[in-house]
Amino acid sequence: MPEYRQDLITGRRVIIASERTGRPDRFSFNNKGGLLPRDLPGYQEDCPFCYGNEKETPEEVAAWREGSHNDPDWQVRVVPNRFPMVELKGGAERFLASPGMGFERMNGYGIHEVIVETPEHNRHPGEFSAGQMKIVLEAYQHRLQVLSDYENLKYAQLFRNHLRQAGASVEHPHSQLVGLPFVPGEIQQELEGAYRFYLKEGICPYCYILEEEKNREERVIYQDAYFLALMPFAARLPFETWILPRKHISSFTGVFSEELTKLAEVFTEMLSRFNRLLNHPPYNLYLHTAPFHVGSLPNFHWHLEFLPRLTTEAGFEIGTGVYVNVTLPEEAAKFIKEGEVSTI
Amino acid sequence: MPEYRQDLITGRRVIIASERTGRPDRFSFNNKGGLLPRDLPGYQEDCPFCYGNEKETPEEVAAWREGSHNDPDWQVRVVPNRFPMVELKGGAERFLASPGMGFERMNGYGIHEVIVETPEHNRHPGEFSAGQMKIVLEAYQHRLQVLSDYENLKYAQLFRNHLRQAGASVEHPHSQLVGLPFVPGEIQQELEGAYRFYLKEGICPYCYILEEEKNREERVIYQDAYFLALMPFAARLPFETWILPRKHISSFTGVFSEELTKLAEVFTEMLSRFNRLLNHPPYNLYLHTAPFHVGSLPNFHWHLEFLPRLTTEAGFEIGTGVYVNVTLPEEAAKFIKEGEVSTI
């Protein structure tokens, strides 16, 4: 029997119809002859993100290196996107909370950066050392901090697309960061829902979910003193996973170095497990964090959402906003949790 | 320079970044060796929807035939989905408008039907006669009417997925109808936004958009006395198109037969143009109509939304709810409008 579930925070409904397609082990990704990162060369001559090709990108805005600034021996590099979806031109016009009568076109004001995560063309983050991953997380944090200093930027979306089936157009391992002059709809909905919960129940809904899920166990795939990785109760897609900090902290810019070290471990371990158990699936990964200039929020935890793209959203999902998930989150969690521990 | 646009009704923001990929004529669909409907056989032995294989489906709930009920010479047939995402079992539990503290699983109560649009395995609706299309529209309307009589159903989503890239798993031309015990999130947002507009401006926002778009012309691809087909100002995806009735009418169940005749013409013409000019693209199509049991609404028009799936939504879109559209709707409309008139 299919069932409806509703996300506690956003109110988003999903249909869990696990009889439709079957068990988690049927989801091993069929790449249909496409190349996996490890099958690619370590260096590709025409890749602007490869070590040695640094002059092919716009001038870097930040880099992490062992040596001096002019030393090409970098570990992580941040550059402006050559084909930006937004640009720091023209100035931010006023962005109204609700639309008016008009058909106004507004300047595409913003910043679009690429975080090149490694000099190696073929190294997926699931194979990073925890040290390399920590530098990537430091780069995320640093750039978020820099963008948050722009008065006219209200939010920045950090995200990572892996493989063409998840919308990636560049092979070389990278993340992207887009600074925007408004708080985007999904974040707004999440914050508003979390605020309603907070006012009604008197506690942060993320603190509540963390406590409940820890006790229920069935959807938790990893936990330590700092983080919980879990498949959410109302998962939209098979194997949707969230990484949540146990500590109540609303902005990723406020995470301590020691916590980033731990996050690097969880994150690499999780990616590695998914690669092994689902045969290197395409995925989208993004950060939800507090908007800029709002201080610390009582109703929100920054967190990562990881969405393997193993099924295709179709007319029902787009028309209704209700996702049909063909895997029980509890079964998906069991499958991932009980996989042999990988050797990173 | 990229630009932001905002949908007048939902407040949904999009980024139009047409420099990123280029002009509409670059969007001709590359099917990568997959078969188009016309390359398939007219009859397939193992297809339960083909003429002659009627016993392979669950018992039909409605059919349109020229002869008697037992005559296999049907034109359109409606059957229950063999792998339903919802089922008429257990009874509808109470569906709250906002989520509570719990992690309740609710019965997947509902009805999931398939509308088989033609006995022929390989005939895409873009190649239907206007007469055949009208019967399909009558079937849509009839089944919506039947489902609206269930006290516990609050909405039914009608949709059509075409090709695997748009989530279709069955080749034979068909639409689907899913009756739900709640008003889904996208519909709720649209109705609420339309209601805010109506209260503030004193007119139905769809009436307003129709008048504005008719005068501006640049996004209109088809119009007659009854319907406007247009690319919306804040289109989410390249070639997103809406078909709107000019007459203020909130439910599709209230459309007159004469109007269905006209709609069949617009609809077939539009699908035919897209097939010809974009090389048979994958697409999702869905109906938005008034919820059941609410009577006539002052702030809403039923309408069809057509979304070709030529690009892939990725982490940015999923994380923010903001779509990045790489085609200007005005250029896409020009491209479709100026294509030679097809001979249906």
The string of pLDDT tens digits covering residues A163-207 is 999 999 899 999 999 999 999 999 999 999 999 999 999 999 999
Question: What residues in A contact B215, CB-CB < 8 Å?
Answer: none
Here the tokens at position B29 are: 């669909």
The number of angstroms, rounded, from the C-alpha of B71 to the middle of its chain's C-alpha atoms is 30
Can you read off the two tokens belonging to residue A196? 């309603």
Q: What is the rounded distance in angstroms from the CA atom of residue B222 to the CA atom of residue B57?
A: 38
Confidence check: pLDDT of B341 > 50: no
Residue in B108, B167, B288 nearest the CB of A2: B108
Q: Give the C-alpha separation, A302 to B67, whole Å.
A: 63
Say yes or no to pLDDT of A18 above 90: no
Of A25-29, A87-91, A234-238, A302-306, least confident by mean pLDDT is A25-29
| Nearest residue to B120 (alpha-carbon basis) of B109, B112, B128 | B128
Q: How far apart, in whole angstroms, are the C-alpha atoms of residue A303 and residue A251?
A: 9
Instruction: Find tokens 């309740």 and name the residue.
Output: B104
Chain B interface disruption, residue of A242, A286, A306, A312, most B CBs within 10 A: A312
Tell me whether residues B85 and A316 touch, CB distance under 8 A: yes
Cβ atoms of A31 and A280 closer than 8 Å? yes
Query: What is the pLDDT at residue A30?
Result: 75
Instruction: Give the per-residue pLDDT at A35.
Output: 74
The pLDDT value given to residue A68: 63
Q: How far is B3 from chain A (nearest CA, A)?
A: 4
Cβ-Cβ contacts under 8 Å, B285 against chain A: 315
- Determine, for residues B196 and A98 on separate chains, whether the beta-carbon distance falls below 8 Å: yes
The residue of chain A with its CA nearest to that of B166 is A314
**8 Å CB contact of B284 and A11:** no
Contacts of A6 in chain B (CB under 8 A): 99, 104, 106
| Burial class of residue B102 in the structure, from the number of CB atoms within 10 Å of its CB (0-12 exposed, 13-18 middle, 19+ buried) | exposed
The answer to whether B3 contacts A105, with C-beta atoms less than 8 Å apart, is yes
CB distance A212–B103 less than 8 Å? yes
Q: What is the pLDDT of residues A283-300, one digit of tens each?
A: 999 999 999 999 999 999
Block residue for tokens 């799936």: B309
What pLDDT is attached to residue B340? 52
Separation in Å, CA of B23 to nearest CA in chain A: 15
pLDDT at B144: 98
8 Å CB contact of A307 and B284: no
Min Cα separation B240/chain A (Å): 12
Chain A nearest CA to B214, separation (Å): 14
Residue A58 has pLDDT above 60, yes or no: yes
Residues on chain B touching A15 (C-beta within 8 angstroms): 85-86, 108
